[in-house]
């Protein structure tokens, strides 16, 4: 499975990097969690491509304090249930799902969310996305509506699961990665925003990984080899998060949020998907765009195959 593959790779990677211990947390409530306890989830579920660059961040005092808070909330390593009920959303195995579905070298597009859905059975680690069989949330319905307006041939999915989109190179990142059940924003300003700012910094540097053999330009350092990405930052808080990114390297598109409360104040009609696809065509040539509608240079005048990205 995907998680098993990531775990195997992570365990191979960590010793060579002198990184995070991978001991599982103690089940005793009286046990004061060690660093190994606190960071067991990261060691086992963060994709190695991200973990390699984030391992120092994980040991910073703010992040360990965040993990102590989550421990007190009931998220203890990979243990996330008490009395059979989830104490934190999403489930532990999904907190870093974005990293496994979209490894750092694969990122071509970033879509930012704020915090996970807080109702039962919705959140699974990808912003705006819900599990199969769950009703499509209003914000995602509005995203589909905008794509349909820009591309009338787009077949609107009957579900809200965006896993296939994430696999194709779209990083679906919430700026806060957990939430208490039925309490919107309950884990905001606890440290997640600082951590995901670091994730965005990595995308700024490496996003749009260049194929093997591509030489850097004369003014480009060895660590700045990413070709650039599209960033869709909807809402003022999202725009603030990406304000420091290199605007010459990336296409950064901002507008109102797709929430029903704000979609008619600048989200509808923003033309972001068309702008993004045109930029990706120029930047990546004949490589398929990860955004719907999916088109290559040879197929851009034919009917979209967008639905395949969302199923």
Which residues are marked as active site?
115
Residues in a beta bridge with 299: none
Tell me the C-alpha distance between 115 and 187, whole Å.
8
Structure tokens given for 67: 């993990």
Give the closest residue to 267 by CA, choosing from 252, 275, 257, 281.
Answer: 257
SS3 264: helix
The CA-based angle 115-19-43, given to 5 degrees, is: 40
Tell me the C-alpha distance between 118 and 181, whole Å.
5
Distance of CA 170 to the CA centre of its chain: 8
Contact between 151 and 274 (Cβ < 8 Å): yes
SS3 176: coil
Contact between 275 and 147 (Cβ < 8 Å): no
Give the closest residue to 130 by CA, choosing from 85, 101, 161.
Answer: 161
């Amino acid at each position: 499975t995907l998680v098993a593959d990531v775990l195997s790779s992570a365990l191979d990677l960590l010793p060579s990097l002198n990184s995070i211990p991978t001991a599982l947390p103690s089940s005793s409530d009286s046990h004061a969690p060690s660093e190994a306890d606190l960071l067991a989830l990261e060691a086992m579920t963060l994709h190695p491509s991200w973990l390699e660059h984030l391992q120092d961040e994980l040991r910073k005092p703010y992040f360990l304090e965040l993990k102590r808070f989550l421990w007190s909330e009931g998220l203890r390593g990979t243990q996330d249930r008490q009395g059979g009920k989830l104490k934190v959303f999403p489930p532990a195995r999904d907190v870093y799902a974005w990293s496994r579905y979209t490894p750092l070298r694969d990122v071509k597009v970033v879509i930012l969310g704020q915090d996970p859905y807080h109702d039962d059975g919705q959140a699974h680690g990808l912003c705006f996305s819900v599990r199969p069989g769950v009703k499509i949330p209003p914000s995602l319905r509005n995203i589909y509506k905008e794509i349909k307006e820009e591309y009338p041939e787009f077949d609107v999915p009957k579900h809200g699961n965006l896993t296939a989109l994430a696999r194709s190179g779209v990083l679906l990142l919430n700026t806060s990665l957990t939430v208490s059940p039925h309490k919107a924003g309950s884990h905001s300003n606890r440290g997640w925003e600082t951590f995901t700012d670091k994730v965005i910094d990595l995308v700024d540097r490496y996003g749009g990984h260049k194929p093997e053999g591509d030489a850097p330009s004369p003014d480009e350092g060895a660590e700045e080899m990413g070709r650039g990405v599209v960033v869709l930052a909807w809402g003022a808080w999202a725009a603030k998060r990406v304000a420091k990114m290199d605007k010459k390297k990336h296409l950064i598109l901002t507008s109102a949020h797709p929430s029903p409360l704000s979609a008619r104040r600048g989200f509808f009609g923003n033309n972001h998907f068309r702008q993004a696809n045109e930029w990706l065509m120029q930047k990546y040539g004949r490589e398929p765009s990860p955004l719907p509608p999916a088109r290559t240079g040879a197929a851009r005048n034919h009917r979209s195959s967008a639905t395949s990205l969302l199923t």
